[in-house]
Amino acid sequence: MKSFLSVNVDMAKILIHPYSRRLLRQACLLLCSAVLLQSRAAWAAEPLRLSFCYDSAVTQLWLTHNGRGVLNRFLGIAQEKLNLRIQLDPLPWKRCLRDVSMGLRAGAVDGSYSEERAVYAYYPGTPQGKLDVNRRLRYGTYALYRVRGTDVDWDGKQFSNLNGPVVAQLGYSVIRDLSNLGVATDETPGTVDVVMRKLLAGRAQVAAVFSEEGDRLLKGPPYAGKIERMPIPLIEKPYFLLVNKAVYHTHPERIEQLWTTLAQLREALENQTAPKKKTGRP
């Protein structure tokens, strides 16, 4: 039996042979290629992580801090379907948009379209380059509220008997809508409740807030019987997931898939909740 040393010497002679060295190089290349392919497969399986923010002042059913809102559920379903890991954090709306503009957040959930936001963020678009309303998250309505018995009014085009600013939440697009009408505004940080308390205290004649949140507050104290909604809403507009442009350019297919999936989930929910037509003989 050969000693351990002689075995190693014989092996070294074999490896020194040119033919053996060529085989060794080929084997190393094959091994390295296999490792590289496995690594690429692992990278492909790694979920894409996206950090989104939303308005911390929301108190509506669409987005909730406990994760049970409609859009919370939509995002949860979409991330599993598309191999994403979505972090969703509440922030003051103005800060949320600022973080998206600076690239600190991948996007903002539940924002309406504005030219100012379109400078740094993309919205779902059509092949023709237009805003794709079909891939919205929802429609939202801004209603106008006044102290019961006051004569300030809105006819759908202009205000009458308005002698001061309209109070609205800080950073919301309705501020621009009111400014376009030539109406002065009082931008108030905080929730709809903060805005309505300012109205109730007589510090404003009119409040412009989301109808579903304003109507909810009117059902209980201290607003019930004291504040009323004007008959004609101020504006209805679509709301979207807006995405930082750099993030979109890095992952265009994944973002497009996310926009489409969220729209499909909304459509499915709308079909489930839509009134069913009666069939049969009259």
61-119 tens-digit pLDDT: 788 888 889 999 999 999 999 999 999 999 999 999 999 999 999 999 999 999 999 99
| Higher per-residue pLDDT: 161 or 278 | 161
> How many whole angstroms separate alpha carbon 89 and alpha carbon 129?
30
Is the per-residue pLDDT at 142 higher than 60?
yes
Q: What is the CATH number of domain 139-237?
A: 3.40.190.10
Domain 48-137+238-271 identical in fold to domain 139-237: yes
> How many whole angstroms separate alpha carbon 50 and alpha carbon 47?
9
Q: Which residues pair with 146 in a beta bridge?
A: 206, 228
Is the four-CA dihedral 155, 171, 256, 245 of positive or negative sign? positive
Return the pLDDT at 44: 54
Q: Give the count of alpha carbons within 13 A of 114, CB side only.
A: 14
Confidence band, pLDDT 50/70/90 cuts, at residue 27:
very low
- pTM as predicted: 0.78
> How many whole angstroms separate alpha carbon 190 and alpha carbon 91?
11
Return the pLDDT at 282: 35
> How many whole angstroms separate alpha carbon 247 and alpha carbon 122?
10
> How many whole angstroms separate alpha carbon 222 and alpha carbon 232?
23
Confidence band, pLDDT 50/70/90 cuts, at residue 3:
very low
Instruction: Output the average pLDDT for the chain.
Output: 86
Is the per-residue pLDDT at 137 higher than 90?
yes
Return the pLDDT at 34: 40
**Residue 120: C-alpha distances to residues 101, 123, 243 (Å):** 5, 10, 8
What is the architecture, at CATH level 2, of domain 48-137+238-271?
A: 3-Layer(aba) Sandwich (3.40)
For the chain, give the longest Cα–Cα distance.
112
Is the per-residue pLDDT at 182 higher than 60?
yes
Is the per-residue pLDDT at 36 higher than 60?
no
Q: Hey, what amino acid is at 103?
A: G
Is the per-residue pLDDT at 163 higher than 80?
yes
> How many whole angstroms separate alpha carbon 37 and alpha carbon 31?
10
Return the pLDDT at 278: 45
Three-state DSSP state, 242: strand
Cα 114 → chain centroid:
15
Domain chopping of the chain, boundaries = 48-137+238-271, 139-237
Q: Return the percentage of the chain with pLDDT > 70, whole number.
A: 81
